[in-house]
Amino acid sequence: MAIAEPTIESPAPPLVTRLHGWVTTVDHKRIGLMYLMMSLFFLVLGGLEVIWIRMQLWSANNTLVEADTFNQLFTMHGTTMIFFVVMPMIAGFANYLIPLMIGARDVAFPRLNAFGFWMSLFGGMILYLSYFTGEALYGAGSAPDVGWFAYAPLTSPAYSRGSSVDYWILATLVSGVGTLTFAINLIATIVSMRAPGMAIGKLPLFVWMMLVDAWLIVFAFPPFTAAQVMLLMDRHLGAHFFDTQAGGSAILWQHLFWFFGHPEVYIMALPAFGIISEVVPVFSRKVIFGHTTLAMSTTAIGFISMGVWAHHMFTVGLNDGLDAFFSAASFLIAVPTGIKIFNWTATLYGGRLRLHTPMLFALGFLSMFLIGGLTGVMLAAVPVDWQVSDSYFLVAHFHYVLFGGSLFALMAGLYYWYPKATGRMLDETWGKWHFWLQLIGFNLTFAPMHISGLMGMPRRVYTYQAGQGWEIWNQISTVGGFVMGAGFAVMFVNLLWSLQRGRIAGDDPWDAWTLEWATSSPPASYNFETIPIVRSRRPLWDKKHPEDPDWIHE
């Protein structure tokens, strides 16, 4: 006699138990999702800060916020966006996807992985604690106000009394340790845990680019960490590393910072390139054009990007030889980047394009990043940089790279992989609203900054005199900021609404070719029942088309 299966599902465990499960998890997927939630949370904070900035700059001689507050706002905005929005979003995607894409059951060091996440989150919390402690307790907000690159001697005790700069140092230091453990873990995972048959040349491009990315983190973050410790010693232990009055060097800080800071730009860009390299072929219904060239140009970018840092220091007055070297190296890096743009365009060419939201964001990335890249080449020319350094032209340039580039690609990734993680599709109509609001708002905000910058408006000024022709461009920027804000609001509604109501996705809603789509959505905690065997770069294509598998042609 058969024993009846229990038909009633066991009730969901209480909230505390479920929260406990998340807090103590070492599952790469949950850690990935926590990184993503953290990123979205800080996106709201970084966005709110910039609304105040844009409202203050709406008109000449405006007095909405004071100069001190303004300094805190742009410092917190820049630091938040880079360290606590883009970086955790990258770590989130990498954590969630890479074990799935290489056919592994988890990362190499799951506990280290959890450690890295909590360090990143604590870093963000330390940054924002600055608002609630020290001087802030009796009224004056004491958030750091030294800019995201915190130049010496601004950070010395003489110019930054109180503890706000220490919060900035500790926030980036602690989250930096988290990022470093993340990178080491990722390298170990990709090197040692690939499914049988997945030779290094068969890695999905997102995985390959994240591998290069992780190496960049390993080389770029420790000097930054060291510089932060030196700064702490200057501030608290009477050291004089950056104190020119006592034989130290302010320029030393700039070198240490940008030796990290420039590779950091590529650390934020390579994952975006990786996402685009996955999305563009799937939505063009074609094999990616030039897989090997794309991989090799990434490696080239990795190497060259370690040798261009002083292009952030052309106005310091190093010397002509150094300026020429760093200018040439910066021009050089445009070559492998251009190769990539060529390859993606060649993949689109002749493809059967499907213009779903992930693809729209990918196309947005291609065009916006191209603009940012071109102004970057302009800035690499020393005389041009002398003219527009520290002006709004520069603010326009790096937002086209970081926002139009990285963030647009990350949005493409969000729409592409959300079905895998939740089992439900994001709504397409809202997705398109989000895309168009963001694209239009983005260009309204940042394109005019090229003009105000060329007209002489410096960055980081809290107000300006009337009658210089800057008003109209600032007003367009401010309107654009709100349009973009509306776009993000639509995104948040979509993310939440679709969680309950979205169309059921199934395992493989986009008819894609990489291994993450071979398992259920969301995947079981062990990812794969049996570890897949790989013979080509598109293992899922081989499975779906046994009559014409890729490995015959590769």
Contact residues for ligand HEM, defined by CB under 6 A:
47, 50, 53-54, 74-75, 77-78, 81-82, 86, 147-148, 395, 399, 402-403, 406-407, 445, 459-460, 481, 484
**Nearest by Cα to 163 from 87, 232, 114:** 232
Which amino acid would we find at residue 122? F
DSSP 37-62: HHHHHHHHHHHHHHHHHHHHTTSTT-
262 binds, among Cu ion, ligand HEM, none (CB under 5 to 8 A by kind): Cu ion
**Nearest by Cα to 109 from 117, 80, 309:** 117
CA dihedral 517, 520, 523, 528 (to 10 degrees): -80
In this complex, which beta carbon is closest to ligand HEM, that of residue 308 or of residue 476? 476
Q: Cβ of residue 440: shortest distance to Cu ion, in angstroms? A: 28
Q: How far apart are CA 218 and CA 215, in angstroms?
A: 5
Q: Is residue 304 within a helix (H) or strand (E), and if so which, with residue range?
A: helix 291-304
Using the contact rule CB under 5 A, the part of the chain among 209-217, 262-270, 367-375, 424-432 near Cu ion is 262-270
In this complex, which beta carbon is closest to ligand HEM, that of residue 432 or of residue 459? 459
Q: Cβ of residue 293: shortest distance to ligand HEM, in angstroms? A: 27
In this complex, which beta carbon is closest to ligand HEM, that of residue 286 or of residue 459? 459
450 binds, among Cu ion, ligand HEM, none (CB under 5 to 8 A by kind): none
Number of separate helices (H) and strands (E) present in the chain: 17, 0
Q: Cβ of residue 376: shortest distance to ligand HEM, in angstroms? A: 15
Is residue 397 within the footprint of Cu ion (CB under 5 A)? no
- Tokens 């007095």 sit at which residue? 63
- SS3 for 72? helix
In this complex, which beta carbon is closest to ligand HEM, that of residue 108 or of residue 395? 395
Q: Cβ of residue 457: shortest distance to Cu ion, in angstroms? A: 22
Using the contact rule CB under 5 A, the part of the chain among 181-189, 261-269, 282-290, 544-552 near Cu ion is 261-269
Q: Cβ of residue 48: shortest distance to Cu ion, in angstroms? A: 28
336 binds, among ligand HEM, Cu ion, none (CB under 5 to 8 A by kind): none
Q: Cβ of residue 340: shortest distance to Cu ion, in angstroms? A: 17
Which residue(s) pair with 391 in the sheet? 458
75 binds, among ligand HEM, Cu ion, none (CB under 5 to 8 A by kind): ligand HEM
Structure tokens of 43?
Answer: 């996106």
Structure tokens of 5?
Answer: 């299966």
Q: Cβ of residue 503: shortest distance to ligand HEM, in angstroms? A: 29
Q: Which residues of 320-337 are buried (b: 16+ CB within 10 A; e: fewer)?
A: eeebebbbebbeebbebb
Is residue 538 within the footprint of Cu ion (CB under 5 A)? no
Q: Do 262 and 312 touch, CB atoms closer than 8 A?
A: yes
Give the CB-nearest residue to ligand HEM.
78
Q: How far apart are CA 149 and CA 135, in angstroms?
A: 23
403 binds, among ligand HEM, Cu ion, none (CB under 5 to 8 A by kind): ligand HEM
In this complex, which beta carbon is closest to ligand HEM, that of residue 459 or of residue 544? 459
In this complex, which beta carbon is closest to Cu ion, that of residue 27 or of residue 264? 264
Q: How far apart are CA 208 and CA 212, in angstroms?
A: 7
Compute the C-alpha angle 429/433/438, nearest 5°. 150
Q: Cβ of residue 213: shortest distance to ligand HEM, in angstroms? A: 15
- SS3 for 5? coil
Give the CB-nearest residue to Cu ion.
262
Q: Read off the DSSP letter of residue 391.
A: B
Q: Is residue 96 within a helix (H) or strand (E), and if so which, with residue range?
A: helix 87-101
Is residue 262 within the footprint of Cu ion (CB under 5 A)? yes
| Residue 152 backbone zone (phi > 0: left; psi -120 to 50: alpha; other: beta) | beta
Is residue 255 within the footprint of Cu ion (CB under 5 A)? no
In this complex, which beta carbon is closest to Cu ion, that of residue 255 or of residue 262? 262
Using the contact rule CB under 5 A, the part of the chain among 17-25, 254-262, 401-409, 426-434 near Cu ion is 254-262
Q: Read off the DSSP letter of residue 131.
A: T
In this complex, which beta carbon is closest to ligand HEM, that of residue 198 or of residue 231? 231
Q: Cβ of residue 85: shortest distance to ligand HEM, in angstroms? A: 6
Q: Cβ of residue 308: shortest distance to Cu ion, in angstroms? A: 6
81 binds, among Cu ion, ligand HEM, none (CB under 5 to 8 A by kind): ligand HEM
Binding residues (CB under 5 A) for Cu ion: these are 262
